[in-house]
Structures are given as C-alpha cells and as structure tokens.
Structure 1
Amino acid sequence: MIAITGASGQLGRLVIDSLLTSVPASELVALVRNPASVSDLKDKGVNVRQADYTQPDTLITALQGADKLLLISSSEVGQRLVQHQNVIEAAKETGVSLLAYTSILHADTSPLGLADEHKATEAALADSGIPHVVLRNGWYSENYTASVPAALQLNALYGSAADGLIASAARADYAAAAAKVMTLDDQAGKTYELAGDTAYTLAELAAEISKQTGKDIGYVNLPEADYAGALKNAGLPEPLAEMLAESDTGASKGGLYDGSKTLSSLTGRATTPMSDSVTAALEATQ
C-alpha cells in the first residue's frame, strides 16, 4: 500500500494520477483533510482516508496498513516542521517501511528562507530511523506562469531575480518523479536534486511571453522590498508576497538552479519546456 498525503492538492492529485497508470487503485491510499473533496478518487477504487497534519490521531489511523508513504510538504509556511514531525511520528508508530519527502532544491545549501523548515524536516527524518528518500524539488514553472495575466495587463514582468538562472519544471514533472520513486526498490538513503532540463532568466521568460503574444513585455527587476510591496498591492496576502519576493532574491543567488537533469533521468522523459508552460498559461486566460 502506498499512501500519499495532501492528496487533494495540486501536486498530490497529479502524483495519484501518475501512480494509477502502473499501480492498482486498491493499493493507493489518499490522505486528505476532507474526503469529500476527492470523491472521484474513491469512485476509481482509491482508498480515501481522513488525515490532518495537525491531528496526530488521524494520521495514525490513516496510515494503518501503509507500506510506503509520500509526505508532501505542508503549504503552511511557518508551521511545517511541527506538522511534518506529526506525520513522521505516525509513520514510525505504524511501521511504514519507506517515507519519501518533498523537500526543496539543494536544501542544505539553499539561500532561500523557505529551505529552513525543509532542512529541519530532513534532520527529523534522519533522527527518526525510518528508511526514507528525499525529493528535493526545484521551482514549479506554474509559480512564474501565474504572473502571465498581470504581465499582459501591465506590459511588463516584475521580479527581483536579476539575471539568476531558474531551472523550473512543470508540477506534473515532479509528480511523475515522485510516483516513480514510490514504485522503485532500494530507495532508502537516496536524495534527488530535481529541476528542469533547461534554465532561463526572468528576462528570457518575458521575451517568451512577448514572442507568443506579439506584445512587447519587458522584465523589470525590483529590489526585494519593492517587489513584495507590488505583490501586496496586487492583492496577495503579505506572507505570500514576502515569500515570493524573497525566493526571487534567492534565485538571483543561484537558489533555483541545478543542471544535473536528475529529474528527466528519473522519469525517463524531458521536462516540460517553459515555452509550453507559457502557452498553457495563455490558453487559460482565454
């Protein structure tokens, strides 16, 4: 039995979709806060169980009979470590034989503030004694293509990444990698640095948007505080705005780059080009 936390989230759903191509639905366990949100998975034969990162008892119940567990990192920045520790303790108590965790690219050396909770979770995993594998995911291309509508409206793409290289990949690429690892043997002790095959700067992303739309979209680099302020003025919650701006600054220091092509080697296919992600974002605006 393979259990997946956060199964109702964007990454979790894609992981389950990928697993369903090679694993019987009856051997999958979708862990979600609200089972009704994934009723379609239940209809497909997937075991759907209620589980909450903040409620240890639900985790222990939900993990009964699970051999492998994919712990998709919590989205609640600032509360992740405690929530992850709850999952780790439940996995230990229920005898999970392999725990895979979605960390962040080069967590041990990353300049991104987001890396702190991931490093702490990796340390907690090491201390737990549970056989585990770490999936250090790079940036999702969708994190940047979400800015396409605003770029078209403002005739500019804003950021604070300077000329830092970003080796992003589509969320589906990372999901495929996670699914593959969950079906492979002898994964305990491995750490995968996962990123897109081809890196780009935000100026190059702006040029791609221009190419596909016929509009003159330039890249405007801002100081981190100014970019965070612009995001807040655009309606983003303050913590999210500050996280995105700080991550851009981390990108300027190489925090979102990796050239190993480990992701495509693991999945056996090239990662999704940024141009394709831009196309998908533009189609979604129509």
Structure 2
Amino acid sequence: MVSQKYLLTGVTGGLGGKILEDMLNRLNLPAASITATSRSESSRGLFESQGLNFKVLDYDRPETIREALVGVDNFLFMSASEFDNDKRRIMHRNVVDAAKAVGVRKTWYVSLAFGGFGVNEKVSVQAVHNWTEEMLIESNMDFVSIRAGVYADAFPLFMNWYPESKAIHLPKLEPPVSSGYIALTSRDELGEGIASLLTQGLEAHPSIKPHGERQIVLLTSAVTSTFIDIANAINSVRIQQQPVDFLEPTEWVEDAAKTDLGSKSKAWFETRLTWFREMCNGALETTDPALETLLGRKPLSGVEIVKSLVGGSNGEYTWHQNSGGARSAK
C-alpha cells in the first residue's frame, strides 16, 4: 500500500485552493507529498502539471472515496457544496464511512463557527457540520473539527449588499443588529492557518488544544464587529454613501426578495433572517487565539478586511454567491 502524506478535498474552491497554495509555496512541501482531488477527471491535468498526485473523489460515489483514501495519513475533509442538507448529510456519511473502512490516520474536518465551542441547532447550514462531527465521534477515528470563522469576504451575502444598492437594509430585531458581535474572518488567513495546522500538526502548536469530544479547534479573528460596523466601513471608503435602513422582519424578507439583484428566493431570505437572529444572539461572537498562533501575527478584523476589499475595488466589490438565480433555503 502506497502511503499518501496529505490528501485534500475542496481544492477547486477558494478556501481549499488557498490551503493548497500555501502548502506548496509558503511551507514548501514537495508536490509529490500532496494528493489533490476533484469529483471530475477533467481536473487531473491542472494538478498533475504542478507535480501533485491526483485522485477522483466524489462524495456521491462511495467507491471513489474508498479508493482515494487508501493509505492517507492526513485527510483534509471539506464540506460538500450541496445546498440540500439531507443530501449533504448522506454525502458526509459516505466520506466518514469510507475513511474508517480504509483506516485514514487523521481527518481534519473543516466546519463552521456558529455556536463557537458549543452546538447551535437553529442555523441550518451549521446542522450538517454538527451531524458530521457526531459521525466522526461515533467512528472512533482520530480527527479534529476545524471550526472556521465566517468569511468577512462574504459580507455582501450576509447583508445582501451590492455596489449598486441605494441603501443597506437590515432587519429590526431584538437583540438589535447593533449588538450582534461577529468574529468575521479573512478567508485567505483561514487558508494560511489551516495549511500550517495540517502541515505542522498540533504537536508544533502546544497551546492549541482541541476542545471537547467534538475536538474543536476554533479559528477566528481576534476582534468582533457588528453589521453596523461593517456598514460604516463600507461607507468610509465609498464616494456614494449607502445609508442604513431598518425594516420589520417580515418587511425585510419581502423587500429583499422583491428587490434582490441576485434573484434569490423569499425562502432564502427567511433562512437568512434566522441567521441574523442567531448572530444577534451571539452565535458568532466567540473568538480564540488559535488563528493568531498559526499565523504568527494578529488576524485582520472584519472592518479592516471590508475596507480593503471595498476600497481596493473602487467600491465595486462583489461576492460570487450573492447572485446567479434563486437558491435553496438550506
């Protein structure tokens, strides 16, 4: 059996691509020690041209997962991009079962930070991560759940913000949006931190201790921000100002669905209203120094990131998930 030092999923995405880039170019790992994966054979040339190993690994096809994971020492398990939670749950079950069956030595699962070190059961996107952590516990495999802070880069998605927006509409909630502190985190810094953790291991960072039976390592910025802070950051670097308006929750959902430039559905905004409520109740306020330890510097704050993104694009910053037609509410 040929040993595979590192096998990475999700490398065609933004976070996974950054992790791979850092492993190769900053940490100088030999390309031959890394196996990149994709559900599509058409990606083979892209990765093999860089000297990387390549395997087809499709979460919907358990036989490809088992074949790819044979002999793997460190498995970076990125969540499926599927929107339907029931389908994602099945896909993740396929992955965990295959990893156990072939004896993967250590699984590094990339989760989300809703709930901090606890369990948030109200945000649908977090539910699959909770289930997957429970699958990993039941498997008795060696694993770490890397709970990644929500991307500051994705603020347009959270706030339904577009450069063309005349105003920033937020729901009127209790507790209010102005008291909902969030550890918004840079996607690039998360990629850098995860690459260091995966490559160097926990042994190189004794202050980082996985928390509880879910083996959580929480990677966040050190500073929390509210969406009012983010709105102020946007306006501080734009010529055309966008005032903040507060709408009653039902009105906010109706208005967002009616006027959304990305054609997202009413159900989508109803789900996002739950996100807002949970964020205002502190679901994303927990911070941890682990990312600073891995970076060797203080992570950027959400305000700093947004100012850089919006200012650096002359106010025209966009986020790919904020448009492109109606989406699943999950």
Kept in 1, the 8 Å contact 2:220–2:291? The answer is yes
Provide the TM-score with structure 2 as the length reference.
0.78
Q: 1:103-122 alignment to 2 at 5 Å?
A: 103-105=111-113, 106=116, 108-110=118-120, 111-122=122-133
Query: Structure 1: how far apart are the matches of 2:44 and 2:229?
Result: 38
Alignment of 1:40-119 (within 5 A): 40-77=46-83, 78=85, 79-105=87-113, 106=116, 108-110=118-120, 111-119=122-130
Whether the 8 Å CA contact 2:111–2:145 is kept in 1: the answer is: yes
Name the CA shift for 1:149/1:83 in 2 (closer, same or farther; >3 Å): closer
* Residue correspondences, number: 286
Counterpart contact for 2:59–2:94, Cα < 8 Å: yes
Q: What TM-score, normalized by structure 1, do the two folds share?
A: 0.89
Cα gap change, 1:221 to 1:32, in 2 (>3 Å): farther
Q: Deviations over 1:68-116 (max 9, x none)?
A: 1011111224122211111111111221100011112126333533222
- 1:154 corresponds to which residue? 165
Residue by residue over 1:6-37, the C-alpha shift from the partner in whole angstroms, topping out at 9 and shown as x without a partner, is: 22111111111111132211111112112434
Which residue number in structure 2 is paired with residue 184 of structure 1?
200
The answer to whether the 8 Å contact 2:73/2:106 transfers is: yes
* Distance in 1 between residues matched to 2:228 and 2:155, nearest whole Å: 12
Distance in 1, matches of 2:82 and 2:249, equals: 22
SS, match of residue 92 in structure 2: helix
In the other structure, the counterpart of 1:6 is 10
Letter in 1 for 2:198: M
Aligned residues of 2:237 and 2:310 also touching (Cα < 8 A) = no
Deviations 1:28-83 (A, max 9, x none): 11121124347433211111211111110111111123211011111224122211
- After the TM superposition, which of the residue ranges 119-128 and 22-31 deviates more from structure 2? 22-31
Cα pair distance change 1:108/1:224, threshold 3 Å: farther
Code of the residue aligned with 2:191 in structure 1: it is A
Q: Deviations over 1:234-279 (max 9, x none)?
A: 1125564444332222111111212333322232222233333343
Tell me which of 140, 146, 149 is aligned to 1:135.
146
The gaps in structure 2 that reach 5 residues or longer are 204-208, 318-330
Closer, same or farther: CA 10–237 of 1 in aligned 2, 3 Å: farther
SS at match of 2:164: helix
**CA spacing shift, 1:148–1:120, aligned 2, 3 Å:** closer
Q: Which position in structure 2 is the counterpart of 1:250?
A: 278
Secondary structure of residue in 2 paired with 1:139: coil
Deviation of the 1:202 alpha carbon? 1.0
Which whole-Å CA distance do the structure 2 matches of 1:37 and 1:244 have between them? 33
Corresponding residue for residue 306 of structure 2: 277
Shift of the 68–231 alpha-carbon distance from structure 1 to 2, 3 Å rule, reads farther
Larger mean CA deviation between 95-104 and 274-283 belongs to 274-283
- Give the Å deviation of 1:225: 4.3
Residues 1:277 and 1:116: Cα distance change in structure 2 (over 3 Å): same
Change in 2 beyond 3 A, CA 1:252/1:182: same
Tell me how far apart the structure 1 counterparts of residues 72 and 248 of structure 2 sit (CA, whole Å).
47
Q: Distance in 1 between matches of 2:249 and 2:30?
A: 47
1:71 aligned counterpart, secondary structure: strand
Match of residue 215 from structure 1: 240
Q: Larger Cα Rg: Structure 1 or Structure 2?
A: 2
Please, which moves more after superposition, 128-137 or 115-124?
A: 115-124
Aligned-pair distance for 1:148? 8.4
**Structure 1 residue 130: Cα displacement:** 0.9
Name the CA shift for 1:46/1:113 in 2 (closer, same or farther; >3 Å): same
